[in-house]
């Protein structure tokens, strides 16, 4: 989408595409193993207790 070697500046290209220049340079962090395990457990609980809201799963 963004071509850094294009004659248009990165800021101009981002503006034309409708997003911020900062998002061009953003690189997401990987999720840690502990966080992945916690998210999996929360998903399992949500599927097992689909009738319970988030406060009841605490």
Please give the distance of CA 26 from its chain centroid, rounded to a whole number. 11
- pLDDT tens digits, one per residue of 16-39: 999 998 888 888 899 999 999 999
Identify whether the C-beta of residue 21 lies closer than 8 Å to the C-beta of residue 10.
Answer: yes
- At residue 44, does pLDDT exceed 70? yes
**Token pair recorded at residue 30:** 């990987």
Query: What pLDDT is attached to residue 2?
Result: 86
pTM across the whole model: 0.49
Tell me how far apart the alpha carbons of residues 26 and 36 are, in angstroms, rounded to a whole number. 21
Identify whether the C-beta of residue 2 lies closer than 8 Å to the C-beta of residue 24.
Answer: yes
Tell me how far apart the alpha carbons of residues 1 and 4 are, in angstroms, rounded to a whole number. 10
């Amino acid at each position: 989408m963004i071509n850094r070697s294009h004659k248009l500046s990165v800021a101009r290209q981002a503006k034309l595409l409708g997003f911020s220049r900062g998002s061009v340079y953003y690189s997401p962090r990987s999720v840690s193993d502990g966080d992945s395990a916690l998210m999996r457990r929360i998903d399992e609980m949500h599927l097992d207790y689909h009738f319970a809201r988030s406060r009841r799963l605490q």
